[in-house]
Amino acid sequence: MTAMTAMTAMTTRTVEYPADGLTMIGHLALPAGVDRRPAVLLGPEGMGLSDVERRRADALAELGYVALAFDLHGGRYLGDPEEMLARCLPLLADPDRMRGIGHAALDVLRAEPRTDPDRIAAVGYGTGGAVGLELGRDGVDLRAIGTVQLRPGGTGRRPAQRRPRQRSDAVPGAGVINVRCRALSEQGIELHG
């Protein structure tokens, strides 16, 4: 690798931080360059941080965003559904705990010198999306909050028949749009080259 390639390549690193009585282990992805960039806080599904979220953070960094895929379970991935539910159901029932996890991750993202503190969005899957929503409900100034949520028990309809729902009233000051990252671009945070 040449010196020029090293200076312009996307980089990643593991970050540790305390939250919910645990040492969380997040995945921070930085875009090429040295300037301040918009940032995305990326929340995992209830099972915890996996390679899926790490790859999503990397993809966002390749598009020019600082991205932190945050942890829910102190570095553990809860592949057993019963174990995951035993951890997540009490967490989801306690907004203060979710906010604590979210604020801790957000503090890590804001502490990164490359992060533009005025252009931060939160995107999350399942439990990670709920954490993002709780940040918004707590008054955190986020440019957008995007969630991907599955309804318990499903709807009985095929996915193509479902209509996307927009809940811009759920969090004052932030556009809350389910499923698509295009929500970020609708809030002035471009997600494409």
Going by pLDDT thresholds of 50, 70 and 90, the confidence category of residue 149 is confident
Architecture per CATH, domain 11-151+169-186, reads as 3-Layer(aba) Sandwich (3.40)
3-class state of residue 172 by DSSP: coil
Higher pLDDT, 130 or 174: 130
The lowest-confidence range among 21-30, 149-158, 161-170 is 161-170
User: pLDDT tens digits, residue range 60-71?
Assistant: 999 999 999 999
Write down the mean pLDDT value for the chain. Answer: 82
Average pLDDT in the 182-189 region? Answer: 45
Task: Copy the structure tokens of residue 134.
Answer: 């709780």
Burial degree of 66 (CB within 10 A; 0-12, 13-18, 19+): buried
Question: pLDDT per residue over 54-93, tens digit each?
Answer: 999 999 999 999 999 999 999 999 999 999 999 999 999 9
Q: Does residue 177 surpass a pLDDT of 60?
A: no
Q: Cα–chain-centroid distance for residue 103?
A: 12
**For the chain, domain boundaries:** 11-151+169-186
- Geometric angle at alpha carbon 151, from 146 and 157, rounded to 5°: 110
3-class SS of residue 184: helix
Is the predicted pLDDT of residue 175 greater than 60, yes or no?
no
Which pair of tokens denotes residue 19?
């939250």
